[in-house]
């Protein structure tokens, strides 16, 4: 299987930062995988995602998506990746449909393409009856689902989700996770960050644990649980490798 993402020796220290956000991180994600990128606060997950999206330039090292450099080929890459940011990146005073129509236009989609794709995604994520409501009148879970739809309109081959289920209820979470599994079955690669280990255990083919900007361990959730002493859940593995000290 070809590599969808190749991260090699990434270094990044922000201006004024007292320690590196990334300190020689190297990771590979295979095409068609659901990869969980896990780590405590400040581990470097968001920085890694921002570098992959071309929003942050690394100090050293390189990152490639489908063989294209994330910095040099940013614009071409953005057409191939769908990023679901942690925040609800939508126009809150527009309805969901108005948001999707606008985003579709910006991606260069025709009205018909946008309409068909939006209709399908709204149905699959249970928002079909709420398309004409303004985003600021949506519940937290609805906003999260709309946020995912907005990132998938251009049918990207790789989807990067930054804590897509943060702050949502159990039902919305289940719907989102099921949707991601289905979407992955269409051959799409998914990179997913979360602090919820049971979620990662449930949907990820593999997880990578990083801490303090460095690679820590990688493997299938069950494999990691079995191979780590006294661990019954992925959360135990996570704590085993990253420790119990609270991160700021």
Partner 1 sequence: MNKILATIQKEWILLRRDVAGFMLLFLMPAVLIVVMAMVQDAPFKDYQELRFDLLLADNDHGRLAQEIRQGLKQSKNFHVVDSIDGKPLSEEHLQKLLKGGEYRVGIVIPKGATAEVINAANTVANRISEKIGMGKLPAREMRDSMYVRMYFDPVSKPTFRMSISFALDKYITYSCSNVLVGRLSKLGMAEAGETLDTAQTDDFKKIFQGIGIKEEALGDKGNISQFISSVQHNVPAWAIFGMFFIVIPIAGNMLREREERSSLRIQLIPFAHNYVALGKIFFYTLICTAQFAVMCAIGLWVLPQLGLPALYMGLHPFVLVPIAICIALSATAYGYLVGVVFKTATQATPFGAISVVIMSAMGGIWVPVDLLPGVMQQLAKVSPLHWGLDAINHIILRNGNIKDVLPHLAVLLSFSSVLLLISLYANRRMTHSVQ
Least distance in angstroms from the C-beta of 154 to partner 1: 8
Per CB under 8 A, the list member of 149, 150, 200, 203 interacting with partner 1 is 150
For partner 1, the binding residue among 94, 196, 202, 239 (CB under 8 A) is: 94
CB 138 → partner 1: shortest distance, Å?
13
Element (H, E) at 219: strand 214-219
Nearer to partner 1, 27 or 88 (CB): 88
Distance CA 77, CA 75 (A): 5
Is residue 151 a contact partner of residue 184, using CB atoms and an 8 Å limit? no
Q: Which residues pair with 210 in a beta bridge?
A: 215
Residues 145 and 78: their CA atoms lie apart, in Å, by 21
Q: Which is nearer to partner 1, 53 or 122 (CB)?
A: 53
Whats the size of the chain, residue-wise?
Answer: 248
Kindly tell me which residue out of 26, 41, 57, 139 binds partner 1, with binding defined by CB under 8 A.
57
Exactly one of 88, 146, 175, 200 binds partner 1 (CB under 8 A); that residue is 88
Q: Is 93 in the site for partner 1 (CB under 8 A)?
A: yes
Give the span between the Cα atoms of 69 and 63, in whole angstroms: 6
Candidates 13, 61, 62, 91; binder of partner 1 (CB under 8 A) is 91
- Interface with partner 1, residue 112, by CB under 8 A: no
115 touches partner 1 (CB under 8 A):
no
Give how far Cα 6 sits from Cα of 61, 67, 140, 213, Å. Answer: 11, 8, 33, 16
Please state, as a whole number, how many other Cβ atoms lie within 10 Å of the Cβ of residue 139.
12
Contacting positions for partner 1 (CB under 8 A): 14, 46-47, 50, 53-57, 74-76, 78-79, 83, 85, 87-94, 98, 101-103, 105-108, 150-151
């Amino acid at each position: 299987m070809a590599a969808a993402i190749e991260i090699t020796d990434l270094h990044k220290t922000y201006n004024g930062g007292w320690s590196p956000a990334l300190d020689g991180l190297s990771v590979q994600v295979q095409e068609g995988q659901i990869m969980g990128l896990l780590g405590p606060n400040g581990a470097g997950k968001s920085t890694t995602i921002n570098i992959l999206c071309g929003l942050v330039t690394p100090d050293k090292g390189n990152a490639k998506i489908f063989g294209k450099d994330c910095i040099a080929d940013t614009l071409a890459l953005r057409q191939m990746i769908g990023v679901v940011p942690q925040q609800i990146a939508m126009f809150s005073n527009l309805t969901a449909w108005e948001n999707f129509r606008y985003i579709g236009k910006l991606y260069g989609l025709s009205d018909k393409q946008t309409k068909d794709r939006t209709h399908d995604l709204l149905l699959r994520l249970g928002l079909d009856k709420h398309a004409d409501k303004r985003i600021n009148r949506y519940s937290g879970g609805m906003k999260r689902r709309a946020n995912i739809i907005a990132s998938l309109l251009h049918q990207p081959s790789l989807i990067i989700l930054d804590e897509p289920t943060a702050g949502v209820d159990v039902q919305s979470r289940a719907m989102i996770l099921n949707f991601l599994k289905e979407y992955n079955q269409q051959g799409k690669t998914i990179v997913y960050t979360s602090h919820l280990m049971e979620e990662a255990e449930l949907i990820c083919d593999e997880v990578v644990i990083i801490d303090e900007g460095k690679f820590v361990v990688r493997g299938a959730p069950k494999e990691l649980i079995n191979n780590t002493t006294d661990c019954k859940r992925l959360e135990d593995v996570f704590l085993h490798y990253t420790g119990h000290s609270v991160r700021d």
